[in-house]
Chains A and B, each alone.
Chain A
């Protein structure tokens, strides 16, 4: 990883020097934040060093350099988290270190970057470019930086983008002392690669996107290491049972559709995954979002979200969402403090387990934001993959200061 970073840094600086520097010097922008997080677990767990209270902090600065009115930009975004109890959660990443060049209808990117694909809220099935930074949070929203080169061409016929990803990032997992985590630790020091013996592999993807009136559509194809590992039971050097992550080669076809009709958003995301070493599977998420504007006579909006999640691997598979319904409510205050609240429940139709979460935040002053989260795993039977974190319900308070 360090060699890669160095190579990319050098090449980025080379591009920097060769091209845009020919014009006027860069404009600088600084974004990002520093955040403190306190977690309170509502249940004790036996064994090990796993506490009921955790403290953590992160720093996420983003430096953007612009040339020629934004036609060329270089973005540098290192990230560091420190965790009091779990040393596997303390980690450093380069979220972004990339150059973006706009040449008329063509956009080129090179470096470490983040790409988001998708339209649904409760699951991001199609989103495959970046690996999950699993230690950050359980919702799969935090990603590790992905080394890539991409070219995107926009026309009246839509946007076509090709990606080449030469280096694969492994998923991060909570360590021995971390909460939440499953019953066995994941041995991230000893991954198994389904192809070759290391992270270097030319993964690639292509995506086509277009808008037709009120409908936005995107179709994508990915070939390379699955970002989601299978787990192989093994024994650690100390003789303890562990799980080794196994990353196999897959080909994924993805489809995203959204129809925007008045206050309704109708959404669909589906994938078909061919696993070279294993059984093929399909999954989809479909639903809607409806917003009541200026609800209850205030300036705020209330959004109602419902989505159905399905995975062909069924109850025997690794996904906890093999046949689930998500119901969520979103409140956007539209007030001076930009207050927002999101609450949701995921019902598992097969196992009857329920996952409830709530997230509320507002600005304090002009540069601070306070967020209160809660995640609760309710009535999880032994057959559900969530069984092992069912006692890891927690409430989390975060305070962020923005640069």
Chain B
């Protein structure tokens, strides 16, 4: 799971799929395939694309996403505590507390290892989930149920389901790997929440199966920080809007948003996800991400 990269890669990740400095493949998807996908989505959503500039837009989108991916590399490992507040249409609240540990696995064709531990509500306290993320294949995922002390390997096919009843889907949480999307640059404009900054606006299309989204549109500034993402469902309606704020810089380099707000445009429900603490390079190793460590996850 890569909430750690969530904010930055989401914003920049909307654009392009560049494996290297040259505009070519990334996670096996060629420019031609990206063009095809962009046209396919445009067709579904009753839009027409300007063919003349399409390849350039895709290449630029890929480059912006790749730059963000490269910028965020090298964080090694991270540990964070999060507080989630669920709001229904009437503003009534439910609270969730969770912690996450991530171990960066270097390579564009493989995702990170992560563990998520649930603290609140108290009836699920002690429940934990271990994930070995992949890029386009299903993740390896295990769930620990503390009452039975049982580790169960679960299917990770369920991407679009709600995470802990919130407005965040599993795919919104899971490793935001560059290779999971193909990208198309749209335009530059002032960032929605901070007009003093310039934002690149791009579209991105999920390459992995079972996504609930046909496309996403993101706003990311020059420092690879995401500001806003619009999620489009299969009917091309804007289903959810994510706003990222309270950015803080770590190790003089990595930017992390401390507040994410996801608003469901159709139901009026919302979820706030606030990072209370963030620590990098805490010394996590592979041995901290095994079924044994899952059973004693605290």
Contact = CB atoms under 8 A, between A and B. Distances in A.
A70 B296 contact: yes
B95 interface: yes
Contacts of B52: none
B123 A363 contact: yes
Interface string A15-56: 000000000000001010100000000000000000000000
Contacts of A163: none
Contact of A293 (B122, B158, B292, B298): B158
Give the contact-size bracket for chain A.
35 or more
B155 A116 contact: no
Interface stretch (A258-266, A379-387, A390-398): A258-266
B291 A265 contact: no
Interface residues of B, number: 40
Given A294-B161, A299-B162, A336-B86, A402 B125 contact: yes
Interface centre among B126, B149, B155, B157 (most CB of A within 10 A): B155
A331 to B, nearest CB: 13
A216 interface: yes
A130 B287 CA distance: 26
B122 A402 contact: yes
Contact of A116 (B148, B161, B292): B148
A112 B296 CA distance: 15
Contacts, number: 111
Interface in B148-169: 148-155, 157-158, 160-162, 164-165
B223 interface: no
Contacts of B164: 338
B148 A31 contact: no
A141 B153 contact: no
Nearest to B209: A262
A136 interface: no
Contact of A265 (B153, B165, B210): B153
B160 A294 contact: yes
Interface stretch (A102-110, A239-247, A268-276): A102-110
Contact of B123 (A141, A216, A369): A369
A159 interface: yes
B28 interface: no
Interface in B99-145: 120-126, 138, 140
B293 interface: yes
A79 B57 CA distance: 64
> Which of B86, B210, B287, B292 gathers the greatest number of chain A CB atoms within 10 Å?
B292
A260 B125 contact: no
A31 B122 contact: yes
B94 A366 contact: yes
A159 B165 contact: no
Nearest to B297: A70
21 contacts: A29-B298, A31-B125, A31-B126, A100-B296, A104-B285, A107-B292, A116-B149, A119-B153, A154-B290, A291-B155, A293-B157, A293-B160, A299-B162, A299-B165, A334-B161, A336-B86, A336-B94, A337-B165, A363-B123, A368-B123, A402-B121
Interface of B: 86, 88, 94-95, 120-126, 138, 140, 146, 148-155, 157-158, 160-162, 164-165, 210, 282, 285, 287, 290-293, 296-298
Interface of A: 29, 31, 33, 62, 64, 66, 69-70, 73, 100, 102, 104-105, 107, 114-116, 118-119, 141, 152, 154, 159, 209, 211, 214, 216, 258, 260, 262-265, 291, 293-294, 299, 301, 333-338, 363, 366-369, 400, 402-403
